[in-house]
Structure 1
């Protein structure tokens, strides 16, 4: 697949909207600006990092339906820096023909870690043994050690708790969650697979992630991975 920019296309006629104005939004905007896109950022923080390298910022929250609709209406294509958004209004706009990538329906799926886990298992992809938590007894009956994960709103270690024994149940996450077995991991690897609207697929190099175990946050990403 030829991934080079089409020199015969005037990208400056296109308007890109990005939901989220943090460091990832900034990187997206910088690349888009080099291609000539007009970039608008939606973020609740005025003059956020991405806004500093973009053409326009709409100051508004990610669950502000009015501001989300404004961004989509003003953009030829809308994309995301963050998945914690109101998918309701975005699905309506998507169904009316607005170009939103990834699809708000996909974003809605990945907002729920438990739904993700079920889908992977249903597709025959190996996953750790897991169970929905309906009662406190579900935690004890599953066996220890166990990893408890919030179904929603988890990121950067937030919403993940290691429970080594029943004594740790007092520290359990007090929200809708599920549990999965603790897996003996040698190393954690990741690969980015991108697909465009023509179903062309590109795989990027495998990277290795090193975590700060004190806070369950990825601290270092090594490329290439040590395979």
Structure 2
């Protein structure tokens, strides 16, 4: 016969898994939004800069699937399913923790890598169509010019692109001056803002995961004790 405490834990775990399934959808959504937004400027980003949202999307899908395993295990009162659920949650938690640590370590190298890529890319603006397209899109979208400012183009002995101009008339003449902010600062801010969103989502999900692991272990232990009677 099912004890009162065991019954409470079972339904608490079922409730947490519903929240967990919703959180999985939340992680997928947050990762996709960040990847879409920052990915627009992926030409200047190293692959590892885009790894975090991709990993979170994959983790979100796995979390969504695992949540159903937890719900099923709780309702069926299956010791093996609950144990598998707790182990899967722990593995996902460790992966998320590793990604977070890697992102924190990489943060110190991020600025230097981004600025170096921008500077080398600028030199081939007029000879490489993909570089030109990437710069034009970035300068238009972020309303910026050059790496640190418009003078970066002239220092490199290049003509300042039309996409640096705030307003161009019908004769392709810049009538209101160039953007004074550089693209490096704008891109850096964009990435940092999205990183903050991912960190917030990750911390919130981590608390839910820990609660799920504890409840699953408690229920599994209760089921084992009941079976031993």
How high is the TM-score relative to the length of structure 2?
A: 0.23
More helix by share: 2
TM-score scaled by structure 1? 0.24
Higher strand share: 1
Question: More relative contact order in 1 or in 2 (CA 8 Å, sep 6+)?
Answer: 2
